[in-house]
Structure formats: structure tokens, C-alpha cells
Chain A
Amino acid sequence: MIGFRTLLYKEMLRFWKVSVQTVAAPVLTAILYLVIFGHALEGRAAAFAGVDYASFLVPGLVMMSVLQNAFANSSSSLMQSKMTGNIVFVLLPPISYVEFFAAYVLAAVVRGLVVGAGVMLATVWFVDLRLEAPLWTLAFGLASAALAGALGLIAGLFSEKVDQLAAFQNFVILPLTMLAGVFYSVHSLPAPWAQLSHFNPFFYMVDGFRYGFFATADLSPWTSLAIVGTVFFFVSLGCVLLLRSGYRLRW
């Protein structure tokens, strides 16, 4: 257990030591999104009755930040360690692959939640935000950060170079978050797109997370949480199996 705790501590210390880049920068990005889109789309019919657009946007932005930062933490940490070679310090000690998985994913969850909380704190002053069901907010925050962290670990395992990881981030994570209903309600989309959005696991995270704020969403939060949980289970299983096989870590 000490091995796991040390690896978790080291992963958290890593991002905390460069917190300007890993925490402050994404918070600023989210504020820019809010200011620009909130202003440009001001007065648009909001998805939910009694909720203005900027208020609708904030939970989406928070969730987007959680996802992107949890993904970035595990993926870039692992890939950097592989590239610089200092991954041997983790591979030589008696740390099991399950401990390895848990430490990286948990550190990613912490980074995702810290950035998410930062975005919320920074944006809450601009909008009239309610938090009607905070437990749902927390549940979706945790589950989503964990899923993104596990995806990041897989991406980090696959990637041998910076551009491979960037491709993963730009062609998979970014489109999936952007098309998850961060900036709009998926139900306002025209025919094929609304249905197609239901194949995007990130949609359920944003929708469920938003339920925590407004107690209303496109889907029941139970449905969304079940789907997010199932996806997390299979992604984690895949990730743990890859780690057990030593894929691109132990040749």
C-alpha cells in the first residue's frame, strides 16, 4: 500500500509543482469560453426553463475542464516518463499493475477535480448558479474524471512520441467533449446528430453533471451514471490488462 500511496503522492506533487500550467491555465481558458460564448450567445433560448444561457454553459465548461485535465494528467505524465526514461524508477520497485493503475487514475481524478473546482469558483460570480443536487454533481465529477484518467493512461501507454499523444487528444478527446453538449442541449440538434450524440459517452457525463445543478436534464441521471459507470468499467479493464501484459512498458 505504501508503494501505491507514494506513486499517488508523486503524481499529485508532479502537477502541483507546475500548477500555473496544470491548474491556472485551464481555469483561464474556461473563463474565456464563458465570457466569449456567454456574450455571443446571450439571449438565446436556454435549454431549460428559467435558466439563462451563461448559467447553462457553466456546468458544461466545468465538466469539459475536468475531462481534459484528468486525461492530460495521466497521459502526459506517463508519456513523459517513458520518453525521458525515468519510468524505470516505477518499474523497478515491487509495485503491482493494479497499484500502478489506481495511482495514476486517482491522481488524474484529483487534478480534474481541482481544475473543475477552480473553474467553478472562477465562473460562479458571472452567473446565477444553483446547485440543486450536489451529490449528483460530485458523483458525475468523480466518475467522469476517473474515466478520462483511465483513457489517458491507455493513451500514454500507446504513445511513444508527443505527436501521437497530441493526435489522441485532438482527434478523440477534444471532439468528444466538444460534441458532448457542453455548449448546447443535445436535444436541440437536428435529426441524425441528436441520436448520434447518444453514442458519445461524454454526453452522459455532461448531462448528468448538469442535472446536479438544475435538477433537470435530457436524461435521467441514473441512466447516465449507469452508462458512464459501464464505460469506465470496460476502459479500466482494458487498461489493467494492458498494464498486466507489460504493453510498451516491459518489453
Chain B
Amino acid sequence: MAEGEFFGLLGPNGAGKTTLINVIAGLVRADAGSASVMGADVVAAYRTARRMLGVVPQELVFDPFFSVRETLRIQSGYYGIRGNDAWIDEVMHHLDLTAKADANMRALSGGMKRRVLVAQALVHKPPVIILDEPTAGVDVELRQGLWQFVRRLNRDGHTIVLTTHYLEEAEAYCSRIAMLKAGRIAALDSTANLLKSFSGSQMKLQLDRSRLPDGFPGEVVSQDGAVFVLKLGDFREVEAALARLREAGVGIVEMELQPPDLEDVFLRITKGQ
């Protein structure tokens, strides 16, 4: 994962996404290999590595003894920061937590607790932020607010690593994606390339006859009578295909273009295609 990236980590349940995060965060010791955060090894230079890293854990954990503000002050102290109230107020403001600042953690709803988890990961302004399924079980409003805030952090230079089960989120926000399968990287590329190489666009054509002209470009995925589904490398192929049909005098009854879909990529890769 490169500095300043918005990186997505996808994979089915049990693929090893959280284990990988836990190795980076120092919560799990790697059996082999090493990990480093901004050049600091997570074992040998754990203090530096951990200062560079903010992790939003997947589980909805909280300390029932404290209020939101106390929780955030204590978390700042753990990172060696005192008098952090200005930043704490700012983070709470962006996450819509200000009204709940003095409420006990126990009294918060699930979505609110999730926001506090995000705030806790940010108290020390870490250059690298890992969000492990931050939007699981969270309503639409918070999801959008959260993404707005995370994108702002990314624009300000923070590296963001995200795991999610909502593929449209990864597609919308991540510039690069790794797909894990059974603990191994099954695919690693920019989101655009992944979409192109694994999914590609599809064109659905209904013609006035059930036979394509010779030398027709594009790969036929399926045929049902006069309805053809074709795979396209990119949209420029559409022009060539239409030109060939015109040359051969074939009429088009109906035409539909389907854009590439990360879900399709995900399913192909996780099924081992």
C-alpha cells in the first residue's frame, strides 16, 4: 500500500483481511514475514509504527465506564498527547458526536458507538488510517457523513486502508484494490484496471436475425435466439461492432450497454476464475 492511497482490501469472510490488519496493528504476531508502517517495522519499531497508525476495529467495542469525551481524552493520553481538546472537538464535530460528548458510552446507539470508534482512531492524527468494515450495520446518513470525512482526510494526505463488504463503496472510493482469498492476494490492481480486466463492459444486442456476421469483433458470452451478450474490452469496441453490423446489413432491434461491476470481479475471483 502506497503513501496517500485510498486502498481497498476485499475478500470473502475468512479470507484474512482482519488478520492482515491485526498484523499491521501489532495485535497478532505474523508467523512469517514482516510488516511496516511508514517505514517503521511493527515489531522492532512498534512505538513509531503504532503512532503512525489509527485503526477502526471491526467489532463494536467500547469501555462502558466512560463518556465519549473521557474516552477520547484517555485515548489521546495513550498516544502521549495531552490537552488535545481542540482536535477532539473538531473530530466530534465532523462525526456529529458533539451533542453526545458527555453521554456514557453505554447509552449510545450502535451507529454512535461506531462513530466514537472512528474518533478514537483519529485522536493522534495518524498518517495511516485503517478502517475495518466501518459501515457494517450503519445507517445511510452516517455512511455518507463518514465517507465525506474519510475522503477529506485522504485529500489532506492521510493514507486510507479500507475493508468492506459493500462493493459499491470500494468501487466509489478506493483507487487501488487487493482481493484476498484464503490468505493470499488473488488480485491487486487499480480499481479501473480490475474492472476492465476481470469484468469488462457487456453489450446486449437483439438483432433481426439469429446469426452474427463473419468477422464480428468482441467475444460472445451468451446467445439466446437473436439476443446476444457480448463482452467488450472497452467502449471503443462498440463502434467497431456497430460498423460491422451496418456493413453486413444486419438490423438492430434493441441494444443495451452494461458498465463493468466490481461485484462481478469479486465473484469471478473468489470463485477462482
Contact = CB atoms under 8 A, between A and B. Distances in A.
Interface of A: 1-3, 5-7, 9-10, 13-14, 17-18, 81, 84-86, 88-96, 246, 250-251
B78 interface: yes
Contacts of A1: 80
Interface in B19-60: 22, 25-29, 46-48, 50-51, 53, 55, 57, 59
A89 B77 CA distance: 11
Interface in B56-110: 57, 59, 61-66, 70, 74-82
Nearest to A18: B65
B76 to A, nearest CB: 8
Among the interface residues A5, A10, A14, A84, which one has the most CB atoms of the partner chain B within 10 A?
A: A10
**The 5 residue pairs across chains A and B that have the minimum distance between CB atoms:** A6-B77, A93-B78, A94-B47, A85-B61, A94-B50
B79 A86 contact: no
Contacts of B64: 84
Nearest to A7: B78
* Dominant secondary structure of chain A at its interface with chain B: helix
Contact of B77 (A2, A14, A17, A81): A2
A89 B59 CA distance: 12
B163 interface: no
Nearest to A16: B65
A17 B77 CA distance: 19
B77 A5 contact: yes
Nearest to B45: A94
B135 interface: no
A2 B82 contact: yes
Contacts of A3: 77-80
B191 interface: no
A85 B120 CA distance: 15
Nearest to B61: A85
B46 A251 contact: no
A17 to B, nearest CB: 5
B81 A2 contact: yes
B61 A94 contact: no
Contacts of A84: 61-64
Contact of A250 (B26, B63, B77, B81): B26
A88 B76 CA distance: 14
Contacts of A90: 78
A251 B28 CA distance: 5
25 contacts: A1-B80, A2-B82, A3-B78, A6-B78, A7-B78, A9-B77, A10-B77, A81-B63, A84-B61, A84-B62, A84-B63, A88-B61, A89-B74, A91-B26, A92-B25, A92-B55, A93-B75, A93-B79, A94-B50, A94-B51, A246-B29, A250-B26, A250-B27, A251-B22, A251-B29
Contacts of B124: 93
A96 B50 CA distance: 11
A88 B59 CA distance: 10
B27 A91 contact: yes
Interface string B190-219: 000000000000000000000000000000
Given A17-B65, A246-B29, 14 more contacts: A6-B74, A85-B57, A89-B75, A90-B78, A91-B26, A92-B25, A92-B26, A92-B53, A92-B78, A93-B50, A93-B75, A94-B48, A251-B22, A251-B28
A95 B61 contact: no
A85 B55 CA distance: 14
Contacts of A95: 78
Contacts of A251: 22, 27-29
Given A96-B47, A250-B29, A14 B80 contact: no
Contacts of A250: 26-29
Contacts of A9: 74, 77
A93 B78 CA distance: 6
Contacts of B57: 85, 88
B74 to A, nearest CB: 5
Contacts of B78: 3, 6-7, 89-90, 92-93, 95
Contact of B27 (A10, A17, A88, A96): A88
B80 A89 contact: no
